[in-house]
């Protein structure tokens, strides 16, 4: 028996060691084979495709947000900005081509990228071109920053203005035997309308229309500024959807020339002095990021300013990347407080909100930082609404971008009732034995009674009043003044400043400068959080993987997207133990 066990143990140990050494050999081969790939040839063409999700902080992405596995890093907006600016003086880069396809970004992120391209154009004599078979609206804004814009002769530009289309699932849920009990505090708090209405409420339409109008005006102004076009002709072209025709885009001057991709490549070759058909060395953003080292902290000072990215939905008890939770951020704030070299903190908020419990916990963390003598400046990105505004409302100063969507001060709860589905549709019946009136209450398998509904209503009202009080304290306003601009209503950054919800209109860089001023420091380095950890073996596989993403077989259409969105929302609403402070919609450009 001992001999048998010894033989089994030896065999297992041998297998483990063989696997280990095989892994080491693979890593070594990969390292050797990639050594020659670390350099970028001098005549490289930087290809700006902005494909996929663009978080503000690199890799800070909720994995469940994607239907495909992308081996490339999810490069953050600010890192992309640094890369684009670096390309202006990078001797390895000969030309820059903007070829935006399937980008997913907010309006503020789009402006940052556009400004970076503009900076690059102003600080280099390298040609900057844009080419598209078909341009989306955000894609065209980025393209309009180029020296020349080219379009496929059979293509067009999807310039049509901005609209919000929401799916309403009330009848679908009723057919399934599911009723969604919705409780809300704030007349404009419309995040759950999809479950109890078949259309948008007038108040929701009003606030959405005002927000979209502001974006539309900024959008048109950018096109006119970049392309030096007549405002009336552009506005009319958008309203009548004329730019879907390539010939019209050329006639009005929205593009410079119509040509096929192979003709465009001949133009690049001509600039490089290449012969017909000679291979062009394209370098995508992912590869350029891997092979380019940009040193952000150039100061020799020991003083630091901590920049904390609060990005994504606010979820209770979830520690995944790309989401905001009380566990991860408590650890972050604890580290910052213990670091004596940190003299100020900037909270960069890019969130539509979420759990009220977590929002309150994070607000208390901010108060604790301030009580410890650390200046806290809030900086708003694409969204800083509802819970996103809640966590930042007591910062020493709030800096919003001009087109930030903020406000949405309100609360709501969604409680599903699947009793009809269980009993009438599936034939499953529930019975109870209980020692108290509410012992078996608040179960989705049983209908809510009036007393239970009142309890949820009171909880919602309590959260809403707490929200109002937190804002009133942070903004030096009365509860009545806050109530007047609250009610769940959304505001754009410029209007929020008029309403005293924010102090300044500016960028993250402006917020950092304010933090330095309040801390009384002139020389400092930046320390960024959260730390997104990637295992070495994952980094290796990413470096060896092809640039393309791997499709998981899901249909990329609106119906599928809506079904996944509905599933994700229902899970979020039903799993939450607290009323939600969440904005009604998100807009991706």
Angle made by CA atoms 112, 113, 116, in degrees to the nearest 5: 90
pLDDT above 50 for 105? yes
**Helix, coil or strand: residue 496:** helix
What is the overall mean pLDDT for the chain?
A: 86
Which of 43, 35, 36 shows the shortest CA–CA distance to 279?
43
Provide mean pLDDT across the span 131-144: 92
Cis? peptide before 584, omega within 30° of 0: no
- Indicate if 304-408+478-582 has the same CATH topology as 44-160+241-290: yes
The CATH classification of domain 44-160+241-290, taken from the options 3.90.226.10, 4.10.1240.10, 3.50.50.60, 3.40.50.150: 3.90.226.10
Provide mean pLDDT across the span 43-65: 83
Q: Give the model's pLDDT for residue 566.
A: 57
Which of 394, 382, 381, 329 shows the shortest CA–CA distance to 355?
329
Q: Give the model's pLDDT for residue 555.
A: 42
Q: Give the model's pLDDT for residue 191.
A: 83
Which stretches within 422-507 are classed as H helix?
Answer: 450-475, 479-485, 493-498
Q: Give the model's pLDDT for residue 320.
A: 84
The CATH classification of domain 304-408+478-582, taken from the options 2.30.110.10, 3.40.50.1100, 3.90.226.10, 3.40.50.11030: 3.90.226.10
Q: Give the model's pLDDT for residue 293.
A: 87
Question: Higher-confidence residue: 7 or 256?
Answer: 256
Residues contacting 563, CB < 8 A, separation 6+? none
Domain boundaries, the chain: 44-160+241-290, 304-408+478-582
| From 3-17, 73-87, 281-295, 481-495, the region with the lowest mean pLDDT | 3-17
For the segment 482-522, what is each residue's pLDDT rounded down to a tens digit?
A: 999 999 999 999 999 999 999 999 999 999 999 999 999 99
For the segment 158-178, what is each residue's pLDDT rounded down to a tens digit?
A: 999 988 888 898 898 889 899
- Going by their DSSP bridges, the two strands 103-104 and 376-385 should be labelled as unpaired
Q: Are residues 98 and 142 in contact, defined by beta-carbon separation less than 8 angstroms? A: yes
For the segment 402-439, what is each residue's pLDDT rounded down to a tens digit?
A: 999 999 999 988 888 888 888 888 899 888 898 988 88
Q: How far is CA 231 from CA 144, 159, 161, 175, 249, in A?
A: 15, 14, 14, 49, 14
Pull the structure tokens for residue 122. 């102003």
* pLDDT band (50, 70, 90) for residue 7: low
What are the beta bridge partners of residue 489?
Answer: none
Pull the structure tokens for residue 568. 């994700």
Which of 55, 132, 58, 121 shows the shortest CA–CA distance to 87?
121
Angle made by CA atoms 194, 199, 204, in degrees to the nearest 5: 85
Q: Give the model's pLDDT for residue 258.
A: 98
Q: What is the DSSP string of 147-197?
A: SEEEE-TT--B------------HHHHHHHT-EEEEEEESTT--TTGGGT-
| From 108-112, 365-369, 582-586, the region with the lowest mean pLDDT | 582-586
Helix (H) or strand (E) holding 564: helix 558-575
For the segment 64-95, what is each residue's pLDDT rounded down to a tens digit?
A: 654 444 444 689 999 999 999 999 999 999 99
Quote the CA–CA distance of 33 and 72 in Å, as a whole number: 19
For the segment 331-342, what is each residue's pLDDT rounded down to a tens digit?
A: 999 999 999 999
Q: Are residues 109 and 100 in contact, defined by beta-carbon separation less than 8 angstroms? A: no
pLDDT above 50 for 61? yes
| From 234-243, 280-289, 295-304, 356-365, the region with the lowest mean pLDDT | 295-304
For the segment 526-553, what is each residue's pLDDT rounded down to a tens digit?
A: 999 998 765 444 444 444 444 443 333 3
Q: Give the model's pLDDT for residue 60.
A: 87
pLDDT above 60 for 248? yes
Q: What is the DSSP string of 252-301?
A: HTSSSEE--HHHHHHHHHHHHTPPTTPPP-EEEHHHHHHT----------
Provide mean pLDDT across the span 305-329: 92
Quote the CA–CA distance of 559 and 565 in Å, as a whole number: 10
């Amino acid at each position: 028996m001992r001999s048998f066990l010894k033989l089994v143990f030896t065999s297992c140990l041998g297998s483990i060691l063989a696997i280990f050494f095989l892994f080491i050999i693979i890593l070594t081969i990969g390292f050797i084979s990639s050594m020659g790939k670390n350099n970028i040839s001098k005549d490289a063409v930087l290809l700006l495709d902005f494909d996929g999700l663009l978080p503000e902080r690199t890799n800070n992405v909720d994995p469940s947000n994607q239907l495909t596995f992308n081996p490339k890093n999810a490069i953050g907006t600010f890192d992309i900005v640094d890369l684009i600016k670096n390309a202006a003086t990078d001797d390895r880069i000969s030309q820059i081509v903007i070829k935006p396809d399937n980008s997913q970004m907010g309006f503020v992120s789009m402006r940052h990228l556009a400004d970076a391209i503009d900076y690059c154009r102003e600080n280099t004599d390298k040609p900057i071109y844009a080419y598209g078979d078909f341009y989306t609206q955000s894609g065209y804004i980025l393209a309009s920053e180029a020296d020349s814009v080219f379009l496929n002769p059979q293509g067009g530009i999807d310039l049509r203005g901005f609209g919000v289309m929401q799916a309403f699932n009330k009848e679908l849920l009723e057919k399934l035997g599911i009723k969604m009990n919705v409780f809300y505090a704030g007349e404009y708090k419309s995040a759950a309308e999809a479950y109890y209405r078949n259309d948008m409420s007038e108040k929701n339409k009003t606030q959405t229309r005002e927000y979209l109008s502001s974006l539309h005006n900024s959008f048109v102004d950018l096109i006119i500024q970049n392309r030096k076009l007549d405002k009336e002709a552009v506005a009319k072209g958008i309203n009548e959807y004329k730019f879907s025709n390539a010939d019209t885009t050329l006639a009005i001057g929205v593009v410079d020339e119509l040509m096929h991709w192979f003709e465009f490549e001949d133009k690049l070759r001509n600039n490089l002095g290449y012969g017909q058909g000679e291979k062009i060395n394209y370098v995508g953003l992912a590869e350029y990021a891997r092979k380019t080292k940009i040193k952000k902290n150039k100061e020799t000072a020991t003083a630091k300013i901590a920049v904390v990215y609060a990005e994504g939905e606010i979820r209770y008890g979830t520690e995944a990347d790309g989401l905001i939770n009380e566990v991860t951020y408590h650890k972050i704030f604890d580290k910052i407080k213990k670091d004596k070299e940190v003299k100020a903190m900037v909270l960069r908020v890019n969130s539509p909100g979420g759990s009220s419990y977590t929002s309150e916990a994070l607000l208390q963390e901010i108060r604790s930082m301030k009580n410890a003598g650390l200046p806290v400046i809030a900086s708003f990105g694409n969204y800083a609404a509802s819970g996103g505004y809640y966590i930042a409302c007591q910062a020493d100063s709030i800096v919003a971008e001009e087109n930030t969507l903020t406000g949405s001060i309100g609360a709501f709860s969604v409680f599903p009732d699947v009793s009809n589905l269980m009993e009438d549709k599936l034939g499953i019946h529930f019975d109870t034995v209980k020692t108290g009136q509410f012992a078996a209450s608040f179960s989705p398998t049983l209908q809510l009674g009036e007393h239970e509904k009142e309890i949820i209503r009171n909880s919602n009202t309590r959260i809403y009043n707490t929200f109002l009080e937190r804002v009133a304290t942070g903004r030096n306003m009365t509860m009545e003044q806050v109530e007047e601009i609250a009610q769940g209503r959304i505001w754009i950054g410029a209007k929020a400043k008029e309403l005293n919800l924010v102090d300044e209109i500016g960028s993250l860089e402006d917020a950092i400068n304010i933090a330095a001023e309040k801390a009384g420091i002139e020389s400092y380095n930046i320390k960024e959080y959260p730390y997104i950890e990637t295992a070495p073996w994952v980094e290796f596989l990413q470096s060896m993987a092809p640039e393309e993403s791997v499709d998981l077989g899901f249909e990329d259409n609106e119906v599928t997207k809506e079904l996944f969105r509905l599933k994700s929302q229902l899970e979020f609403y039903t799993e939450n133990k607290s009323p939600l402070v969440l904005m009604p919609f998100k807009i991706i450009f």
